[in-house]
Structure 1
Amino acid sequence: MAGGRAGVADLRGPGFLNSDPTELKTALAREARALGFDCIGVTAPGTIDSAGRRFLEFIASGGHGDMDWLASQPERRVDPRGLWPDVRSVIMLGVNYGPDSDPLAILKQRTRAAISVYAQGDDYHDLIKKRLKALARWLVATAPSEVKVFVDTAAVMEKPLAQAAHLGWQGKHTNLVSREFGSWLFLGAIYTTLDLPRDDAEIDHCGSCQACLDICPTSAFPAPYQLDARRCISYLTIENKGPIPQEFRKAIGNRIYGCDDCLAACPWNKFAQEGREAKLAARDELRAPGLGELSRLDDAGFRALFTKSPVKRIGRDRFLRNVLVAIGNSDDAALAKEACRLLDDASPLVRGAAVWALGQLAPQDELAAVKNAAMSNEPDESVREEWRTTS
């Protein structure tokens, strides 16, 4: 969800074969599956006009919150030709990352941390980018062309393009839904100067179902197909750099990085496991780590645990902020000592979250004694405000 060009490659080559476009597309699909992609489709660059208009309305409403990179140079996002005028075809690819167990079961284990399914393994940006570059090199070597590859790190509207390329449709939770893989698809794109046969756009198969809307803990969907990111737990725990707003803390529960509720509720997920291999398996140590042990991570320990993980990008301080909110929701008085220990942390963000967690767990008389001592030494106004609002 970050901006930048880390997932972009510009590959050029003379090629050695001027294939028939249909035959080339068939060979491309075969090569894509050999590289580990589960689905592939092709669309033209001018097929997402309506999605572009909705995106501009979303930005104008402020629904993107602090994700300023989304609002930057919108003309490059609403039409692929705004990013690269020479693009003739957009190749969209997907990798199934459906979980091997119920991702919502951990929400009942209040002293354990719930990490979003996609973040329990290696960073998907690296995994998908490597495959995209390999496929792009094959394409350049097979047919004279220029290509650029993208994986969630540039001004590309992957989900509308994936729908236009018949990979799935944007469901009421605004994520892509596939009839074969449910709501569990990583997406990548290859822009090319080749004219390849187009696929028909996928149609919406949500019908009257709104399970994804009903399950949202923070009511982040003002209407079907509309998301207010400022209320979304994924945004609050990942993109949000400041304290988590008071009104959402209880609803977050033990979700310390992202939220799978709306994805997991989708009934199309019943097909997501078919043909899935262990290549995207979660790391055992990230499936259900204990909140207490996570709260004791220093910066070096955080970096070591989350090596190659997308979690590493939010940094230790934001991560501990999330862990402390989960500790406050744990109903486990034994974890109060972890919150108390972090009242002296170097980060005001961590100290403020520790105040709230302690306020949820500690007896009133003990809390009052700690509060008086802490307030007399606390230099940060945001942390002092947390103390003032803690009963």
Structure 2
Amino acid sequence: MSTSDNSPEARLKQMAADIGFADCRICRADEPWAAGARLETFVAQGRHGGMDWMETTLERRKAPTAMWPEAKSAIMLAMNYGPPASPLPLLEMREHGNISVYARGADYHELIKKKLKQLARVFAEETGEAVKVFVDTAPLMEKPLAEKAGLGWQGKHTNLVSREHGSWLFLGAILTAAALEPDAPEADHCGSCTACLDICPTDAFPAPYQLDARRCISYLTIEHAGPIPAEFREPMGNRIYGCDDCLAVCPWNKFAHTSAEQKLWARAELKLPELEELAALDDAAFREVFSGSPVKRTGRNRMLRNVLIAIGNSGQPDLVDGSVVPHLDDDEPIVRGAAVWALSRLDMARFESERAQREASETDPGVKAEWALTPL
């Protein structure tokens, strides 16, 4: 569609580009699709883990018209957040915590929402059609809609892949009552490649195009509220918030380019924070350091749990006195339990000494179990 085309679709796409979106495509929102049945199976198998909201909002998630019966079209927007280099080498820097690329700056929900509202407002004013704006905090399945609209395809890692931007895309959606001309859906271009499946440190993909969130480091470090299951602690390495492995290894990233937006919102101090500094954060300091970042939503306790697991994997026994032992007295059981595990990994003699003093007086069953476990 040329820029001289004055159709609503052409105007919409030009406005999206002017606002800063990497791509804009359209699909019907009121047609039958298979994504709802796949989601129902995912939840029925329990693969959503502790994300109970996926179960309670299942019926609303199964189709766009379940969210808004008047919806006829979905305007799908993509924003590139491609990093300047692969994040995978940072996993070898074990004295630092690794934060997923998307969370190293301002909260992307807010970044996209402002642009979505701006675009939706102009579209509604020009066409007189009703609109509703969605980012991934709402119960709408953006990835299947994005594939249907032609932004990309859901790869074997279940995330969207684009031939122009690789696996580094934020997604947003505008539903409208307007019956817009849809774009062609994107075909699957994964071929025989299994790089994203092979690199997963916790085998979170039961099969291509299927994810078991209960085994995913992104889920475990962000959504999971309890202790990290023992089998996933060592594979976590230094990942303290999210995991980019399956995204970063995608061969289609060779066509991606560094996001101009990322240069504006990414913060250098969140690229590779030191574990020692993170372990010293109290609640107020945590909120200050991660102000405006999506990391803030995890809260201090989950973050410290993750940091202590990373310290246990760091091979740095010099962190025991200042960063581990103080958290054996933390008020929160998930923090104390993670500190016990970290201590067992870094200093066995100190572990036995502290266990002799603390195990009998520990009141939380989970932490008592950590002391009772035979260290790896």
Q: TM-score range by the shorter chain?
A: over 0.9
Tell me the alpha carbon deviations over residues 35-61 of structure 1, each in whole angstroms, 9 at most, x when there is no partner: 111100100013461121111111111
Are positions 1:68 and 2:52 aligned together?
yes
CA contact (8 A) 2:81 2:261 kept: no
CA distance, structure 2, for counterparts of residue 55 and residue 252 of structure 1:
27
Are positions 1:324 and 2:308 aligned together?
yes
* Correspondence 1:153-232 to 2 at 5 A: 153-232=137-216
Cα offset, 1:272, TM superposition: 1.4
CA contact (8 A) 1:238 1:257 kept: yes
Cα offset, 1:280, TM superposition: 5.0
**Matched residue of 1:145: which SS?**
coil
Cα offset, 1:365, TM superposition: 2.7
CA distance, structure 2, for counterparts of residue 47 and residue 289 of structure 1:
46
CA distance, structure 1, for counterparts of residue 262 and residue 246 of structure 2:
24
CA contact (8 A) 2:80 2:259 kept: no
Match of 2:99 in 1: 115
CA contact (8 A) 2:30 2:73 kept: no
Match of 1:137 in 2: 121
Match of 1:93 in 2: 77
Q: How many residues align?
A: 371
Match of 1:347 in 2: 332
Which runs of structure 1 show a deviation greater than 3 angstroms over 4 or more consecutive aligned residues?
274-281
CA contact (8 A) 2:81 2:258 kept: no
Tell me the alpha carbon deviations over residues 119-176 of structure 1, each in whole angstroms, 9 at most, x when there is no partner: 0010000000010000011011111111100000111010000000000000000000
CA contact (8 A) 2:196 2:249 kept: yes
Tell me the alpha carbon deviations over residues 46-100 of structure 1, each in whole angstroms, 9 at most, x when there is no partner: 3461121111111111110011111123221121111100011110000000111
Are positions 1:300 and 2:287 aligned together?
no
* Code of the aligned partner of 1:341: P
CA distance, structure 2, for counterparts of residue 206 and residue 123 of structure 1:
30
Match of 1:6 in 2: none
Unaligned runs of 5+ in 1: 1-20
Are positions 1:78 and 2:56 aligned together?
no
CA contact (8 A) 2:343 2:350 kept: no
* Code of the aligned partner of 1:342: H
Q: 1:280 to 1:172 in 2, by over 3 A?
A: farther
CA distance, structure 2, for counterparts of residue 366 and residue 345 of structure 1:
18
Match of 1:13 in 2: none
CA distance, structure 2, for counterparts of residue 390 and residue 164 of structure 1:
51
* Code of the aligned partner of 2:250: C
Cα offset, 1:366, TM superposition: 2.3
CA distance, structure 1, for counterparts of residue 185 and residue 319 of structure 2:
51
Q: 1:48 to 1:69 in 2, by over 3 A?
A: farther
Unaligned runs of 5+ in 2: none
User: Which of 195, 215, 225 is equivalent to 1:241?
Assistant: 225
Are positions 1:265 and 2:240 aligned together?
no
**Matched residue of 1:49: which SS?**
coil
State which drifts further: 279-288 or 327-336. Answer: 279-288
CA contact (8 A) 1:22 1:197 kept: no
